[in-house]
Structure 1
């Protein structure tokens, strides 16, 4: 599971690096670096890490956790626009979105 998720994150980082946009304020580069950092972090986790198991429980690896990491649209959006924060924060934010839980905002 960690290999699949890390591979997905590296792929999205490459996508960000390939985007050429004038005057983006280094946005794509920041996103790519944050995703590469998250991929390295994920790769260092054991398969039975609680963060990985939470992703499995949320259905991010298909039925019964037997597939590759395949995010639903809200999770894919979160990953594609991740630009700052600790890798564990990204992993913690994914399960509620994958389950379709409403996100409460106190702002």
Structure 2
């Protein structure tokens, strides 16, 4: 599961790096770096880490936790606009958003 989360985050970081926007003040680069940092962090977590288990409990891996990391739209937006904060903060923010319990930051 951690491989799936890390792969998703790396993919979104690549998407950010490929974006060309005039005068973005390096915002896309900051987002990409934050996501790459979070991907490396997630990759290093054991499968039974509470952060990974919380993602599973929130339904981020499909029915019964048997699929790849597939965020709902609100989580995808949270990830796509993540530009600062510690990697664990992103992983902690995902489950409540996935359950619809919180507004993304």
Q: Same fold (TM over 0.5)?
A: yes
Displacement of 1:81 after TM fit? 0.3
Which residue of structure 2 lines up, in the alignment, with residue 65 of structure 1? 65
Which residues of structure 1 form unaligned runs of 5+?
A: none
TM-score (norm 2): 0.96
Q: Secondary structure at the match of 2:47?
A: coil
Aligned length: 104
TM-score (norm 1): 0.95
Larger radius of gyration: 1
* Runs ≥4 residues deviating over 2 A: none
Which residue of structure 1 lines up, in the alignment, with residue 94 of structure 2? 94
Following the alignment from structure 1 to structure 2, what is the Cα–Cα distance between the partners of residues 20 and 101?
A: 33
- For 1:75-97, what per-residue CA distance to the aligned partner results, in whole angstroms no more than 9, with x for missing partners? 00000000000000000000001
Following the alignment from structure 1 to structure 2, what is the Cα–Cα distance between the partners of residues 102 and 94?
A: 9
- For 1:3-52, what per-residue CA distance to the aligned partner results, in whole angstroms no more than 9, with x for missing partners? 00000000000000000011000000000000000000000000000000
Task: Indicate the RMSD between aligned Cα atoms, in angstroms.
Answer: 1.1
Following the alignment from structure 2 to structure 1, what is the Cα–Cα distance between the partners of residues 102 and 13?
A: 27
Following the alignment from structure 1 to structure 2, what is the Cα–Cα distance between the partners of residues 82 and 38?
A: 10
